[in-house]
Every structure is written in structure tokens, then in C-alpha cells.
Chains A and B, each alone.
Chain A
């Protein structure tokens, strides 16, 4: 129990250090990136106007003063108001979290149910001709950008067949194409990892022993290959999940999907510091949680890790 508490304490400390480091780096990078007061004032604004706007947002203070104020604000989870739309930045960002989570969960789910069976099938007998063909297709697909996949899916299912909407918020099925885009964009990588892991297990001693003992092919695959292959698969799925949480920008752009990636890019374009900071903070927090959960999944999946104090 004591060890467990220590582990939790250590994780919390990690979280604080992580968020502190990210926030500080971000604070400095943003201050180097430009002056939002100039953007807010517009083309040809007088220096007096720009100074007045700087004073409004405290950008006229020294960098150290701004930093201390910033730290005090984020400790209270107050990121200030958006410089552009004047809404509280954190609340504004959180409005878009559900749609990001929605897309993330669906994409990871469909990615898994496409990629894991395909990867297992490929990895079980990689030298078989038809599997080699699929392997080539997967390699080509891996090099296809999500942008191209998205436009192709829209062209086929929205423009030619007229079956599915491509714009978010236009009906019950508006999630299908963005989800499919992300799933198809992520699946090739996962298929290759699963296939390689499964293939790798077939060279292990325990696999060969089981095979020599007369285990059926399906038993070999499900009982001996898959559990071991799933470790690296889970690791990649976790990374993909975390990646999607930071926003699937291209997909959000094409489908007008109201997600964090879109918010982040818009706020960067407008040098909307509070919104950028709030978005990055939320994403960092979520990624940390995902990593924590992944660690727990590993502990459950791998008996060797249970002995360590995670």
C-alpha cells in the first residue's frame, strides 16, 4: 500500500513537472513568436493604439513579471480570456474537447478492428504470396497522407454515391467519413507493427516448443503469438491515441470538425496566446493520463512489469 501511494505521488510529481515545463517553454516560445497587440490593432494602426492594447493584456510588463503572472494564473487554472473572441480560454477550449474525444475514440476503435486482424493474418505467414501483396498495399497506404484519403473518401461517398455527409454537424452519420479517414491513415502503421510482432513470436522458443508439442495453428496464434504481439500493439495504439488527442488537424480542416487541432491552428494564426496555452495545457494533461493508463494496461498484460512499482 505504501509503495502504491509512493508510486501515485511520484506520478503526480511527474505531472506537475511536465505541465510546468511545457507551460514555461510555451510561454517563452509564444513571446518570441510575435506581438498579438499588433495583430489586434490591424494594418496601419498607430503605435499609441498598439501600446494601449499591449497595456490591456499586460504585454507591456517585463518578461519576468509576465511569467510570474502567467504562473500564478495557471496554478488557479485561469488562462485568461481569448484575445480574439474574449471568451475564457479554458472554457472555450473545453467546449471542443468532446468532439475531439469522440473522433479519437472512434478512430482508435475502428483502427484496431481493422488493423489487428489484418496484422495478425499478415504476420502469421508473411511469405505467402497473397499476404505479400497485402503487405505491399499496406506499405503504399502508409505513405498516403490523411488529406488525400479524406478527399478521396468525400469524392466517393459524398460526391459520387451521395451516401454520407462530409461536413460535421450535418446529420447522424457525419462522423463516419472523418473517422474512416483517420482509421485508414493510422491503420497501415498498426498493421505493420502487429504483423512484425506476430512474425517475431513465431521465431521464439516458446512458440516452437508449443508447435513441436502439436498445438493447432489457431491455438498457436491466439494463445502464444497474440498476447505477446499485443504489447507492442498497445504501445503504438497509445501513441496514436495521444496523437489524436492533440487534434487531427487535416481531418478537422477538411470536414469542418470542431476539434482541438482546428482551435490550436486558428489560435496560432491569430497569436491568441491564452487559447494556445489552454489548448496545449489540456492536451498535455490528457496525454499524461493516456500514458498513465497505458502503463496500467502494460502491467496487466505483462507479468514481468507487475513486479516493478509502477
Chain B
């Protein structure tokens, strides 16, 4: 397979100066250990400043160069990566094939397999082998068409620092190749200084990340000038933010909010007509316009246009309550239906309000939706074992960080353990996409998957989610994609 991209490093335009302070909803509980956190928030707001992966996935789902500049397959289970030269870690260590080897050696070790990245993001990795100083082969158990995209979740750590400190101590003083190096980490503050030797040399001299779990106090911190920017404001705060001269930036998230149906357990949702009816019954446009301030969009399928594999020919379920009633009647539920759903709230902008709007719309077609709000700690074991008592549960179609539709489809269709929906034909297609190394053929398969799975409706697709950022006066150079903030370009004018 041909290499995908060669990226260009950002050349600094001036010496690092000034402090950027950012308020975020939370800091990574595992502090500076990038393997113990999932690839999304809250870890990514911190790690994007400290570390780099071999690749990154842009906001169109295209794999771009990061610490690797070129990649190709050597055989069906081996990918060869050519590494960027002249890159240093913030403690002075050289970045080279040994560094990649060491990171992957850890990840495939018994300890590495107990980390979130080792166990759930990259379980298929089997090892790495140095070919030359800047070339490394990475191997997988089975052919993996999108290993370069998946490796966007794997941050490369400074090998000597990692080995000397051990992962527990390293977490307090993490060392990467990113634009900032950590000065101190506590549960309420991370302070960093510019790593002027970084290949992504920053424009700001200092970066301070402060967790403010409460959205109102995050915005107040910006309005009072105590922070320069905020990651995660609510749609209903946009007007207030703009009024205080802040710039609000909405970035499409590679995530579709949905209620997944527990189809394998039987019940009413086993009937595809019921699942389709529920999709027709919800006015997703109104939700996107009203509760996401028009920044989010009605979901048409399980992935968003920023994800590789999105099929724009799939238009999904347009709001049609009459058709919903018709389908429900055909399925034998003309007199109504009651559905129970377990949800977690506080994960996405306006999620609680969105769930309530869905409930109200379903009530109009005679469907009573009863929610039980649970914590993530209660949600996870039920999700893993598919031990839900109700017919539905909150689950988003998350394509991050690899930006590829195969990620959510492999979960929504025949999840290996605890499947809540399974269809042999669709599963075969998803598995075929996982191993198809020809890019054009693979994209065609993914688009076919989008058509078939959308028609099967294993979930009530609701909205394409958004990430909202607010920038204070004078903040320049901000950009973010796939939840990753480009910290090196930000400065305060």
C-alpha cells in the first residue's frame, strides 16, 4: 500500500513568549502516563502538549505524518514506518527506532496489556523491530489495514526516562517530543514550559492547564481574564461568551450521539421496524438546531463527515412521525410501547437536554422512554457483558482517534464480547474492511457497511456531536481537530 502523507514540521516564527492558560473539564486521572488513559478526553487535552504519536488523523479522517513520515506494508501483518529525523525528547534523548521499539515493547508486555491503550486500543500489536536508525517494522496478529491510523493513539515516551523512572514515577514527570515539557502536575493544575528543542517548537513560553469541572465557572474564568481559552463550553453559553468578546469555535467531533438497542436480548427492539420507527420519530434537526445552537447536525448514520468511511449518499431517517406510527403498527405496537434505557449524562454538550427531547418526541408516537441515569462505573460492566436490563442504553459512535468508521462499526455490529446487536452479513463486511489493504476497495466496503447498518438501525442515531472552544482576547493560532489542540501554534498577542 502506498504511503499516505509526508508532513511538514512547523517552523517557529519567533522565540517562545507569554503564558497560555487553558481551562478544561478535567485532567487525566493517571497524570502523565499516556497508556493508562483512553485516547479521548480528558487525557488528550494534556497529552497533545507533551507527546507525539507516529501519526495523527486529520479532521477528514486522513492519516498524516507525525513522528513517522512514511509508511508502507511489508507483508500482510507487518507495516514499515520511516521516522522523522532530528527529533528530540524534552530530556535530550534522541527519537529513533529504539524509542519506538521500547514503547511498543512495553505495550505488548504483561504490564502494557493492562493499560487502556494496550488492552483496548491496540490489542492486535505483537511487537516492533528496528530495521535501521530511523526505520522500524511494527507487526500485528492479523492483517490490519489501518494500523497507521490506530497508532495515532500511541504516544511515544522517552525510553530512558521511562525505564529509569518506571511508569509510576514517569507519570509525575512525563517526557515526550511535544511542544511543552511538564514542570509540575497536581490534580488541580498542570504547569508546562516551552520545549524549545521540540520539532513542534511552541510560540508560547508557558502552558498552564486548569481543570474546572463546572461549565459556568470555566466560562467565568475566561470572562475574568484568568484563563486565555476554554475547552468545552456548553451551547447555551455561546451567546454569553460572544457578549464578553470571546471567540467561540465549534469543531465537528468524530462522534455520533445515540441510544444503542439491546437487540440480542430480544424484546420489541428485536424487530427492525421498531428500531426504524424510533429513528423516524425523533426530530433530530430540531435537536441540533435548538440544543446544539445549530453547530451540531442531525445524524444520518453512525459516523460523521469528518470520519473516513462516511457515506454521504446515506441520508438516514428524516423526521416522519406518521411513518414511525405506521411501522410501529406493522410491528404490532399500534397501541404503544415502553422502553427502558440506561444513560450517563455530562459527557457531551447538552446531552441531558437532548435525551429529554428524544423522550418527548417518542411520546408523540406512543412510545414511553424511561431513563435511568447511571455513572460510568455502573455503565461499563453492563456494556462489557451486555447485561442491560432495559432495551436501550446510551452509547456514542466514537471514531476517535483513528478517525475511521471501522472503530464504531466493530462495536455496534457483533462486538466480540457482549454483543448487543449482531448481523452475520454486516459483521463479515466489517471484518473484511479490517483486513483489506487496498484503500479504494476498503473505502467501498466501509460505505457499503454504512448503507446496511444504517438500514438495520442498531441504534437511535441522534446528532453529530461538536466540541466547543472559547478563546479570550488576543489568542492567536488556535486550531483543533479530532479533539487534539495544536498547542504549538497558540500564542497571546
Contacts and interface: CB of A to CB of B under 8 A. Distances in A.
B174 to A, nearest CB: 12
Given A38-B384, A159-B224, A256-B211, A263 B377 contact: no
A166 B220 contact: yes
Interface string B336-374: 000000000000000000000000000000000000000
B38 A42 contact: yes
Q: How large is the interface on B (under 10, 10 to 19, 20 to 34, 35 or more residues)?
A: 35 or more
Nearest to A147: B214
B206 to A, nearest CB: 13
A170 interface: yes
Contacts, number: 133
B247 to A, nearest CB: 17
Given A86-B168, A256-B212, A258-B186, A43 B114 contact: no
Contacts of A95: 186
Contact of A84 (B30, B380, B383, B415): B30
Given A258-B186, A269-B375, 20 more contacts: A35-B381, A39-B376, A40-B114, A45-B116, A45-B384, A46-B119, A56-B114, A81-B168, A147-B214, A151-B220, A158-B220, A162-B225, A166-B221, A168-B188, A169-B188, A169-B189, A254-B212, A256-B189, A256-B211, A271-B377
Interface string B205-248: 00000111110110011011111000000000000000010000
Contact of B171 (A33, A85, A150, A263): A85
A42 B188 contact: no
Contacts of B113: 49, 52
A257 B188 contact: yes
Contacts of A303: none
A34 B171 contact: no
Contact of B226 (A56, A165, A253, A270): A165
A49 B168 contact: no
A214 interface: no
Contacts of A87: 168, 172
Nearest to B117: A42
Contact of B114 (A33, A34, A52, A85): A52
Given A158-B224, A159-B224, A42 B116 contact: yes
A41 B188 contact: no
What are the 7 closest A-B residue pairs judged by CB atoms, nearest first? A42-B116, A86-B168, A158-B224, A42-B120, A258-B188, A49-B119, A84-B29
Interface in B19-43: 29-31, 33, 36, 38
B114 A53 contact: yes
B384 A44 contact: yes
Contacts of A159: 220, 223-224, 244
B110 interface: yes
Q: How large is the interface on A (under 10, 10 to 19, 20 to 34, 35 or more residues)?
A: 35 or more
Interface string A34-77: 11001111111111011011001000000000000000000000
Interface of B: 29-31, 33, 36, 38, 110, 113-114, 116, 119-121, 123, 167-168, 171-172, 186-189, 210-214, 216-217, 220-221, 223-227, 244, 375-378, 380-381, 383-384, 411, 415-417
A49 B224 contact: no
User: Max chain A CB contacts within 10 Å: which of B217, B378, B381, B416?
Assistant: B217
A256 B30 CA distance: 18
A177 to B, nearest CB: 11
Contact of A266 (B29, B220, B244): B29
B220 A270 contact: no
A46 B123 contact: yes
A63 B328 CA distance: 48
A154 interface: yes
A24 interface: no
B189 A41 contact: no
B41 to A, nearest CB: 14
